[in-house]
Amino acid sequence: MIITVTLNPAVDKVMVIKNFKAGSVNRASEIMVEAGGKGINVSKTISSLGGISKAFGILAGQGGSFIENSLDILKIEHEFLYVAGETRTNVKISDPINNIVTDINEPGPVVSKEVIEKLSQELFENMNKDDVLVLTGSTPQGVDKDIYKLWIETAKTAGIRCILDADGELLKNGIEAGPYLVKPNIHEIERLYQTQTKNMDEVIELAKRLLVKGTEMAAVSCGEKGAVFVTNSWVAVAEGIKTTVKSTVGAGDAMVAALSYGVHEKLEPEEMIKLAVACGTATVMIYGNQPSEADINSLKEQVNIIFLYK
Reply yes or no on whether 253 is catalytic.
yes
Q: Can you give the three-state secondary structure of the chain, one letter per residue?
A: CEEEEECCCEEEEEEECCCCCCCCCCCCCEEEEEEECHHHHHHHHHHHCCCCEEEEEEECHHHHHHHHHHHHHCCCEEEEEECCCCCEEEEEEEECCCCEEEEEECCCCECCHHHHHHHHHHHHHCCCCCCEEEEECCCCECCCCCHHHHHHHHHHHCCCEEEEECCHHHHHHHHHHCCCEECCEHHHHHHHHCCCCCCHHHHHHHHHHCCCCCCCEEEEECHHHEEEEECCCEEEEEECCCCCCCCCCCHHHHHHHHHHHHHHHCCCHHHHHHHHHHHHHHHHCCCCCCCCHHHHHHHHCCCCEEEEEC
Give the Cα separation of 202 and 122 in Å (integer): 41
Given CA atoms 18, 24, 27, 30 in this order, what sign does their dihedral have?
A: positive
Of the candidates 228, 261, 221, 223, the one whose C-alpha atom is nearest the C-alpha of residue 134 is 261
Q: Do residues 134 and 55 make contact, with C-beta atoms less than 8 angstroms apart?
A: no
One of 12, 131, 253, 295 is an active-site residue; which one?
Answer: 253
Active-site positions read 253
